[in-house]
Amino acid sequence: MDANAFSRLRKDFLRSPVEVTGAAVGSVGAAVAYLLLLLLLYLFVDLLVSKGEIPSYDQLPAAKKQEFAAEWAARPDADRADAVRRLGLTNPEDVKRVVGAEPGPAPTPKQWDWRWRAGVYLALRDRVGPAAADTFLPEPPHEGSADPETRPGLGILSLVVRERNRWTGHLLGWLARWNEWTWRPGADGSANRPYLTGLFVLAFCIATVRGVLMNAVVYFAAKATLESLTRLRRAVYFHTYRLGSLAVRTAGPGEAAGLVTQKVDEVGEALEAVLVAPYRYPLTIFLLLGLILLVHFWLAVSFLVLALVVWVIGGQITAYFRREARTGSRQAEAALAMLRESTGLLRLVKCFQMERFNQNRVERQLAEVGRANWRRLRGDALARPLLEAVALLAGVALLYLAAHSVLAGDFTVAGLVVMAVALVSLAAPLAGWLDARRKIRRGREAAAAIFEFLDRKGEAAEAADAEFLPALTTRLEFRQVTLKEPGTGRFLLENVTFAVPAGSKVAVVGPDPTEKHALVYLVPRFMDPTSGEIRIEDKNIRWVTHESLRAQVALVMQDDLVFGDTVANNIGCGDLAYNLPQVIEAAKLAHAHQFIERLPYGYETVIGEYGHSLRPGERFRIALARALLRDPNVLIIEEPTGPIDDDTLALLDDTLERVGYGRTIIFLAHRLSTLRTVNRVFLLKNGHLESGTHHDLWQNNDLYRRLQILADATLETTAAAARE
């Protein structure tokens, strides 16, 4: 389900083919560029170790001497003789003895040295070309003088000779053939300086290209992700607007807000990981492992075996101690909870003289806390060091094997350095891949939650042939209205029937705020009843336009008093149909103008959670001004329950008395003073409705009396807090 939801999200919202392709190409290019940098590192280290010099025959290990002997014997006599002559040996008899064309005594070390140099010349000629082979030729020695022992640096040709019988020798020869700067002698007769400079320039260029590619990957992935998240947030917002069921609970809009923020962010991390991780990390791991295997196959196999040992032994030991740490944490929390309880029993201990009993309990609990914390600390302290110790031992063993191969002549120092760097470099892509998998897993769960929300059916869609609703002049009526709570199926309203005459004032009370909110949210059609109908002017509001219905209904609810914007926009809601004088007039009617004028920027002061702070009564008056500005026929007011002083309540009562004439007002009431002034009170409990005057319900209904006594006590407490 999660994978399908995430795939659907990518299909529906990830609509940036250019950016997706750019991120993929950039990821592949960056991985290849890093591999090229490692190869350049190999060439650089080899140049530093060998100094571009070709070893003499005496410097060759015994195994290499045997390998060369077989190589020399396989060469045609003509090639051997031509190479020897080019090296400066002109005496025919000496040439024959060096070439070994005729049976004779065993070659002397001197003759083997001539053979070796001739073999080097032939190897360079075959792998690179005659011009490269000629750079190996020494200056012709004077007759009777010793052969020159020093030669100028030959750049990459030294590595070509040492790798001549491996596949790397063929690759290096091809590279040298097409890049003469790697072996052409400079002004001092050595090719090392031009070769080193060329390596630096090439590494600089590749590093620059890789940096550009990495930035391009981040840019393309971020752009594609942000565009997708914008589309997704827009879809959630518009579906929230369509989905009336969110109006039932206060947590409803909070669910949508959580989806728009946290869940969409999790999806964004997953999308970014999907754009980068499938190409960058696996390819980098594959290329690094391939390089390690190519540098030295058996040493790489040894590394993989040791890595498996580290995972099996070190990983399992680490997992055990981490489990110990988690268990210790849980036990410590439980023991501390008991210790807090014992500490809170001081009055009971003194009253019932149970000092020794409680002290013994505390001592036992202290011991349990100590044992649990020791278990936690031991697990935390040993988990990571043990894994590092096992990994270090494996690294030492691998280093020993590598050093043994270098001393035996089967491995070069440059190869060892490159293998070490490649092994260390594996850590980053492996960690990145695991992190990407974690993000993708969370993104799948978030995508499932988002699509569960987006797939919900909107309950209050406007009919295609909806008609205009005339102004309320007779009554608002509920007929056998039943409403089930979306998601739970609980009955919020069950066969509710009542009528509110136009121009009257009624109050709705009850122990469950969700039921009261559900009843009043049905009036502006934030949602539709499961069964039954609501009628205004004897018209079923299901078949009237939203605009004509909501133009007659205004709500002042405690959860929607103000939002983060200017005071003017809070009252006018950005509607250009209302100018500033009209906004000010509505504020005066709600007794809000005086305190608004005292704000730092008056009606242009930004208020809300991140703006200028207002008191609860001030926020309520701004919300009331917003409702009065629209001059509604039906005004639904949820009375404030927060700390509001008596003066503010008196101002609110004055406003409602002045604007109430000829207007239908439905109170979600908490104050006895309000209940005494309304025409009728509706008591809502467990979805059922009971109605009557305040006096009748107070005399005959125990629940009503308890609710009002409790509400009055709460309001008195908050009012006292406000006065203080």
Q: 433: Cβ–Cβ under 8 A, 6 or more apart, which residues?
A: 277, 281, 282, 285
Q: List, for residues 308-335, the tens digit of each pLDDT value.
A: 766 666 667 767 777 777 787 788 787 7
Tokens of 709: 């006594």
More confident call, 461 vs 281? 281
DSSP state of 612: B
- Which of 14-23, 124-133, 143-152, 464-473 comes out lowest in average pLDDT? 143-152
Average pLDDT, whole number, for the chain? Answer: 81
- Answer yes or no: are the C-beta atoms of 550 and 630 closer than 8 Å: no
Q: pLDDT of 254-310, one tens digit each?
A: 666 777 778 888 888 888 888 888 888 888 888 887 877 777 777 777 777 777 766
Q: Is the pLDDT of residue 471 over 80?
A: yes
- The secondary structure of 463-526 as a DSSP string is PTT-BPPPPP-SEEEEEEEEEEPTTT--EEEEEEEEEEETT-EEEEE-S-HHHHHHHHHTTTTS
- Asked if 692 and 680 touch (Cβ cutoff 8 Å), the reply is yes
| Residue 270 and residue 439 in contact, taking contact as beta carbons nearer than 8 Å | yes
The number of residues making up the chain comes to 724
CA dihedral for 608, 612, 617, 620, sign (positive or negative)? negative
Q: Which two tokens stand for residue 189?
A: 């007769």
Do residues 476 and 541 touch, judged by C-beta distance below 8 A? Answer: no
Residue 646 CA to residue 596 CA, distance in Å, equals: 19
CA distance 481 to 528: 10
Q: 590 and 628 in contact (C-beta within 8 Å)? A: yes
Interatomic CA distance for residues 27 and 25, integer angstroms = 5
Q: What is the pLDDT of residues 577-610, one digit of tens each?
A: 889 999 999 999 999 999 999 999 999 999 888 7
Average pLDDT of the residues in 711-719: 60
What is the token pair recorded at 17? 């083919």
Closest CA to 97 of 111, 109, 113, 110: 111
Residues 285 and 31: their CA atoms lie apart, in Å, by: 9
The answer to which of 336-350, 482-496, 502-516 has the lowest mean pLDDT is 336-350
pLDDT of amino acid 150: 46
Q: Over the stretch 478-497, which tens digit does the pLDDT of each residue have?
A: 999 999 887 677 889 999 99
322/412 Cα distance (integer angstroms) = 41
Cα distances (Å, whole numbers) of residue 73 to 68, 127, 185, 331: 8, 18, 31, 78
CA distance 57 to 448: 70
The residue that leads in pLDDT, 152 or 20, is 20
**Does the pLDDT of residue 714 top 70, yes or no?**
no
3-state secondary structure 199-249: HHHHHHHHHHHHHHHHHHHHHHHHHHHHHHHHHHHHHHHHHHHHCHHHHCC
Q: For residue 1, name the pLDDT band (cuts at 50, 70, 90).
A: very low
Q: What is the pLDDT of residue 601?
A: 92
State the pLDDT at residue 567: 92
pTM of the model: 0.68
pLDDT digits (tens, 9 = 90+) for 57-101: 888 888 888 888 888 888 888 888 888 888 877 777 777 777 776
Q: Dihedral of the CA atoms 392, 394, 396, 402 (nearest 10)?
A: -140
Q: What is the pLDDT of residues 641-697, one digit of tens each?
A: 766 677 778 888 888 888 888 899 999 988 888 888 899 999 999 989 999 988 888
Report the alpha-carbon distance of residue 400 to residue 409 in Å, rounded: 14
